[in-house]
Amino acid sequence: PAARAAATSSRPPAGNPNAANANAPLSLAPQAEASAAPEPPVRVATTSPNPVQIAPSAGAASGSYLVQISSQRSEADAQASFRALQGKFPSVLGSRAPVIKRADLGEKGTYYRAMVGPFGSYEEASQFCGSLKSAGGQCIAQRN
């Protein structure tokens, strides 16, 4: 059941598939939709083995919900934590790219949250979080 939930949660949100995936990493898997003239892939230089997805603003076309899986004191630690959790839970997190968000918590300091998403609805984010929890992980589904 967890593998099925992870497989179904990777579908793009309903609506315009190009707008929905504008900020998402490119998939190497063939798309179900046929395209008359596919665009050439865009190459992007990165210093980390897993590219970091920039968090879209609230209400963005790509989704309004994220799933937080870790919170660390530095961006590098948040990325390392994501990679460690990806290795521990490959069936749920294996194909996902991290969304790293900076959170200023006042007197508590600044934290960097490793998140997954975006998801189009709270239900989708919650279902993904449930799959991770079933595999033994911890997470929080929240509005972007």
Domains of the chain, each with CATH number or no CATH:
1-8+62-144 (3.30.70.1070)
Mean pLDDT of 60-71: 83
- pLDDT tier for residue 63 given thresholds of 50, 70 and 90: confident
Mean pLDDT of 85-102: 96
* CB-based contact 69:132 (threshold 8 Å): yes
List the beta strands (DSSP E) in 12-109. Answer: 65-72, 99-104
Q: Cis omega before residue 118 (within 30°)?
A: yes
H-run or E-run covering 124: helix 122-134
Residues in the chain: 144
- pLDDT tier for residue 116 given thresholds of 50, 70 and 90: very high
